[in-house]
Amino acid sequence: MPDLATARMLLDRLVAFPSVSRDSNLDLIEWVRGWLEAQGISAQVVPSPDGRKASLYAQVGPDVPGGVVLSGHSDVVPVDGQAWTSDPFTVTERDGRLYGRGTCDMKGFDALALAALVLAKRRGVKRPLQLALSHDEELGCIACIPMIEAMAALPRASAVIVGEPTMMRVVTGHKGGMAYWLRVRGYEVHSSIMHEGVSAILEGAKLLAWVNEQNAANRAARPGPLAAMFNPPWTTVHSGQISGGTAHNITAGACEFGIDFRVVPGEDPDHWRQAFYAKVAEVEAEMQAVRAEAGIDVDERFVVPPLAPETQGAAEALARALTGDNARHVVSYGTEAGQFQVRGWSAAVCGPGDIAQAHQADEYLTVAQFRAGWDFMEDLVAGLCK
């Protein structure tokens, strides 16, 4: 019968796949598919449009509604430039911690979910347990959408548990996210006659000034009841990278930078999207009044819907019953829970590990948290057997 040792074996195997988001994850997905097949469980693979990556979903139990989805992602962030004290793609246990890239975010949960799927099959659950294993979550939580849509062929589950690291606390809300990369095309002239050219840097700065204005206004406004739960309790607009220009005495011919939004539940992300594009159009019109060939190209990287706390949500009720956690927890980062929720599933976030360890050198998951995660899975399966 699958147990904690089975989950630990699976964690070792999953971490050994260097499934960094910039690279393919097909070897990991194929191994998972084959391992499940060996346990008598059929899995469906959902390839990416270019065929380089894939997601996977599976079900055990009868074809009836009212089951539970365990949702995880297979990708991890890079280790480049990080000072690891052990091999990041080998699980190393020391001092009660399991070190390795992805042990916390979130192959620890993936391993537990896979073991739980087999446990559910062996025990003969009366309601189904489903697994959703996505790719490219670290790039924006959008690659999961085709998998979620494909899962509509399964009996509709009553709850989705997304196992991002929460220290096994029940997170019922998170901010949404939107990210854009802007390429500002100016027109180069000598800076002594800058009025005849267009500086991509100075024009881009108008958009960055708008970012600061939005943050100031949002901070000054009184937060709504949903926003008040967050830290900070307002929608934030941010830019973390910028480059441009060729010399100090030439108007910049190009400038590139990113702008991203973290939108509190209760606010419409499309409102912010429209406001952003309206400002881009305004600045671009001013540029083209000087030089018609100037302009701004916008690459929309991702749009992640927020997770709104649900009224009498099935996922929240389930997670609270299994963990005993009755406190209110919300987070400012995004997860795939919002993608499930906007498509009609009840969703909550609950998984082993501390988000503070995610993406760090010497990322780790404590043995105690891994064990707590397995206790959660055993209790979940027991409930599905009733």
Positions marked catalytic: 75, 137
Instruction: Quote the CA–CA distance of 285 and 339 in Å, as a whole number.
Output: 35
What 3-state class would DSSP assign to 225? coil
Closest by Cα among 210, 209, 197, 208 to 288: 197
Q: How many helices (H) and strands (E) does the chain have?
A: 9, 16
In sequence order, the β-bridge partners of residue 220 are none
Residue type, 98: L
Helix (H) or strand (E) holding 92: strand 92-94
Distances, alpha carbon 319 to alpha carbons 54, 163, 187, in Å: 28, 11, 57
First-last CA distance in the chain:
19
Closest by Cα among 36, 109, 11, 54 to 349: 109
Instruction: Quote the CA–CA distance of 327 and 313 in Å, as a whole number.
Output: 15
What 3-state class would DSSP assign to 184? strand
Q: What is the DSSP string of 100-149?
A: STTIIIIIHHHHHHHHHHHHHHHHT-SS-EEEEEES-GGGTS-THHHHHH
CB 71 within 8 A of CB 337: yes
Only one residue has tokens 């830290």, namely 231
